[in-house]
Amino acid sequence: MIEILNPSPLARAKDTGALVGDILQALKGRCVAGTNLLDIDRWAKAMIAEAGASSCYVDYAPSFGRGPFGHHICTAVNDAVLHARPYDHTLADGDLLTLDLAVSRRGTAADAAISFVVGDARPPESIAMIEATERALAAGIAAARPGARVGDISHAIGTVLGKAGYRINTEFGGHGIGSTMHQDPHVANTGRPGRGYTLRPGLLLALEPWVMADTAELVVDADGWTLRSATGCRTAHSEHTIAITEDGAEILTLPTPS
Residue 240 sits at the vertex; the CA angle it makes with 37 and 115, to the nearest 5 degrees, is: 35
Kindly state the helix (H) or strand (E) to which residue 229 belongs, with its residue range: strand 227-229
Query: How far is 32 from 120, CA to CA, in rounded Å?
Result: 9
Strand 96-105 to strand 249-251: parallel, antiparallel, or no bridges (unpaired)?
unpaired
pLDDT of residue 234: 98
Query: How far is 235 from 161, CA to CA, in rounded Å?
Result: 13
Q: What is the pLDDT of residues 155-207, one digit of tens each?
A: 999 999 999 999 999 999 999 999 999 999 999 999 999 999 999 999 999 99
Query: How far is 76 from 86, CA to CA, in rounded Å?
Result: 8
In angstroms, what CA-CA distances link 118 with 30, 82, 96, 226?
10, 18, 6, 20
Q: Is 256 helix (H, G, I), strand (E, B) or coil?
A: coil
Query: Which residues in the chain show pLDDT less than 50?
Result: none
Query: How far is 224 from 172, CA to CA, in rounded Å?
Result: 16
Q: Is the pTM of this model over 0.95?
A: yes
Query: How far is 231 from 113, CA to CA, in rounded Å?
Result: 23
pLDDT of residue 130: 98
Q: By the 8 A CB rule, do 169 and 212 touch?
A: yes
The neighbour count for residue 255, using CB atoms within 10 Å, is 18
- What the chain holds in terms of domains, given with CATH numbers, is 7-251 (3.90.230.10)
